[in-house]
Amino acid sequence: MNRFGLLLLCLLSFSVFGQNVLEIKTDIFTVTYSEIFQQPLKISYKVECTGGDASRLGMSFKNYPGVITSDDADYINNVWDKGHLAPAADFNCNEDMLKSTFTYLNCALQHEGLNRGPWKELERFERDLAKIYAFVSVVVTVHFEDKPENWLKTGALVPIGFTKTIWCDGERFDFYFPNKVVLQLAQKYPFCQNSSVSNMDVFPGANAKSISTKHKVGILLM
C-alpha cells in the first residue's frame, strides 16, 4: 500500500460512454474513474472530521501509479480549479488522512466560480450535519455530455455538471451544480428530520429554489 493508503480493488469491465472504467477503493473514499476522460465519474465517502486542524501546507495533488489521470497541465491558464470531490476539510483529522485527498483520483475540472463558492459552502454544510448526526455519507456524480466535445488540448474532458447526494438520518438529498459560475443558490433547506437542522442556512444570504418529492428535496442550482 502506498502513502495514499490506496487499495486497487478491481478493473471492472462495465461500460460508461462505451469505455471501460476503473473502480478504486482507498482508505477514505471509493472512486469510479475514467482513464479516457481523465476524470472521476463518481466518488463516495463518509464525513470523518468536523473540526480537524491538520495543515495542508505544502500538499499538492499527486498522480496515482498505474492509472491515467489528469495532471497539473490541465489546470494552467484557464478557469478550471482542481476541485476536491471528497473535501480535504472532511478528512483533516490528521495529516495522513488529509494527504490522502490530494490525489488526481479525487480531482475534477471544476469551474473556479463553483469550486470557491457554492461547492465550498455545501462542503461546510455537510460537516455541520456531521456534528449532529453520527453518520453522514456523500456520493458525488460527475456529469458529461452524451457526445463529449469539451476536451482540453492537454487531453482531459471538462465535466458539464456535478450532483452531490447526501444521506443523513435515513434521508437522501440531492444538489445539482452546472459546471459554471452559479448565481442562484439554496438558502433554507429542510434537511433530515431533526428540527435543529431543518431551518439551517445552507448558503446564508442567497435565494432558495427547491423541488420537493416524497423522499428527497433537490436544489436546482443555475
Tell me the C-alpha distance between 70 and 67, whole Å: 10
Q: How buried is 58 (Cβ within 10 angstroms: 0-12 exposed, 13-18 middle, 19+ buried)? A: exposed
Residue 182 lies in a domain: yes
How many residues make up the chain in this entry? 222
> What is the structure's pLDDT at 7?
41
| In-domain check, residue 4 | no
Lowest mean pLDDT among 150-154, 159-163, 174-178, 193-197: 193-197
Over residues 36-61, mean pLDDT: 94
Provide the pLDDT confidence category of residue 120 given band limits of 50, 70 and 90. Answer: very high
pLDDT value at residue 172: 87
The number of domains in the chain is: 1
The residue with cell 442550482 is: 221
Q: Is 101 among the domain residues?
A: yes
pLDDT tens, residue by residue, 82-119: 999 999 999 999 999 999 999 999 999 999 999 999 99
Dihedral, 156, 110, 127, 204 alpha carbons, nearest 10 = -170
CATH of residue 141's domain is 3.40.570.10
Which amino acid makes up residue 220? L
- CB distance 96 to 164 below 8 Å: no
Q: What is the mean pLDDT of residues 193-222?
A: 39
Is residue 90 a part of any domain in this protein?
Answer: yes
Q: 15 falls in which pLDDT band (50, 70, 90)? A: very low
Q: What is the pLDDT of residues 127-154, one digit of tens each?
A: 999 999 989 999 999 999 999 999 999 9
Sign of CA dihedral 99, 101, 102, 104: positive
Structural domain that includes position 97: 44-220
